[in-house]
A and B are shown apart, each in its own frame.
Chain A
Amino acid sequence: GESVGLHLPTLSVQEGDNSIINCAYSNSASDYFIWYKQESGKGPQFIIDIRSNMDKRQGQRVTVLLNKTVKHLSLQIAATQPGDSAVYFCAENMNYGGSQGNLIFGKGTKLSVKP
């Protein structure tokens, strides 16, 4: 989910379990979405993207689901590993005519994997 202050929401999971991280996006005109992973002290790393003409997209151990009706995006990580511990955030690209559609980023969710 989205944070509303200095403290990010945290999801704590057991190693080997599946993780689901949620994101509510802001604009119904958004048509491109990306999930990023950011480890401490590093830059955001691309995980997976999805366009609005799709509801689901799968990658290696990750699945992104898009529900345009309720403007909701989720990232599912299968068989979560300690190396998956990081902050995850979504980004949306708003299509506003005549201008560059820049990415708008959520504040992120911290995933903590317990061994």
Chain B
Amino acid sequence: DAGITQSPRHKVTETGTPVTLRCHQTENHRYMYWYRQDPGHGLRLIHYSYGVKDTDKGEVSDGYSVSRSKTEDFLLTLESATSSQTSVYFCAIGSGVRETQYFGPGTRLLVL
């Protein structure tokens, strides 16, 4: 998985609780991305980062926030989880725009 780890790998939580997912890379790539993957949809971009403290919204950013205080870590937070956020979340890293993105192993999140 190209030096990318995600934690936790599985999580079950209740509606209304906050959840934070962590992505850690050892590749020193500038770009980091959070995607969600759901049946019937391709991978959809939630948020991405193009440097420390530099982040921007993706296609499905509502209900999610991110932070990047270090090059190697990119956090995704669900401030108040909803059942519609039940999904598999993937982190990806890349060296630049129009360059390959490499994906982590994913976090499977179930919101009850």
Q: List the interface of chain A (C-beta within 8 A of B).
A: 3, 5-6, 31-32, 34, 36, 41-46, 49, 89, 91, 93, 95, 100-108
Contact = CB atoms under 8 A, between A and B. Distances in A.
B42 A107 contact: yes
Given A42-B105, A43-B105, A43-B106, A34 B100 contact: yes
B43 A93 contact: no
B104 A101 contact: no
Given A31-B98, A43-B1, A43-B105, A100 B56 contact: yes
A48 B41 CA distance: 22
Contacts of B99: 32
A102 B32 CA distance: 11
Interface of B is mostly: loop
Interface residues of B, number: 24
A94 B106 CA distance: 25
Interface of B: 1, 33, 39-45, 48, 50, 56, 58, 90, 97-106
Contacts of B50: 100
A91 to B, nearest CB: 8
A5 B58 CA distance: 22
A43 B39 contact: no
A95 B97 CA distance: 9
Given A5-B40, A101-B98, A103-B45, 8 more contacts: A34-B101, A42-B106, A44-B90, A46-B100, A46-B101, A46-B102, A89-B42, A102-B48
A47 B79 CA distance: 35
Contacts of B44: 105
Interface centre among A32, A42, A100 (most CB of B within 10 A): A100
Contacts of A106: 42
A34 B99 CA distance: 9
A93 B106 CA distance: 22
B48 A43 contact: no
